[in-house]
Amino acid sequence: MSHARNGLDESRLTHLVGYAASRASIELKKTFQKHLGPLDLKAVEFSILVLVASNERVNQRQLCEALDVSAPNMAITLDRMVERGWVARVRSTEDRRAQLIHLTALGQKLVRRAEKIAAGMEREAIGVLSATEQLLLIELLLKVARGKTARHR
């Protein structure tokens, strides 16, 4: 396998998982922007929409933990999403201090549209892999993301 791109020898980097993952991430981000960019939707916003759509009772703290986003940054992102009319903060009936995040009708429409696009958008980036390789790649990346808790399974 050649380790040269744009005339540069990358052989001293390509054995590093982090380098390979970063290069793949760059390509996937380009693909995301090409397909979902026209919806004026950022990757973190897409993830929030899908998580809120998939979890009836979700709060800001849970979203922060799931996406590894700081509370201040999540608040700013959610403020933007509220302003755009995609989500609403609703006071919890069980814990008056907590606010749950709900999709608005516009948010529900947007997440359905975005998920349809997302279902096929990665094909061009990972189409070089067989279906089995794609599933294995996802499994291995998620195992790395889970860290120590995934060891030796």
Q: Is the pLDDT of residue 4 over 70?
A: no
- Residue 101 CB neighbour total at 10 angstroms: 24
**Tens of pLDDT along 80-114?**
999 999 999 998 888 878 889 999 999 999 999 99
Q: What digits encode the pLDDT tens for the residues 25-71?
A: 999 999 999 999 999 999 999 999 999 999 989 999 999 999 999 99
Reported as a single tens digit per residue, the pLDDT across 135-150 is 999 999 999 988 866 5
Which domains are seen in the chain, by residue range?
38-120 (1.10.10.10)
| Residues ≥6 apart with Cβ < 8 Å to 88 | 82, 101, 102, 103, 104
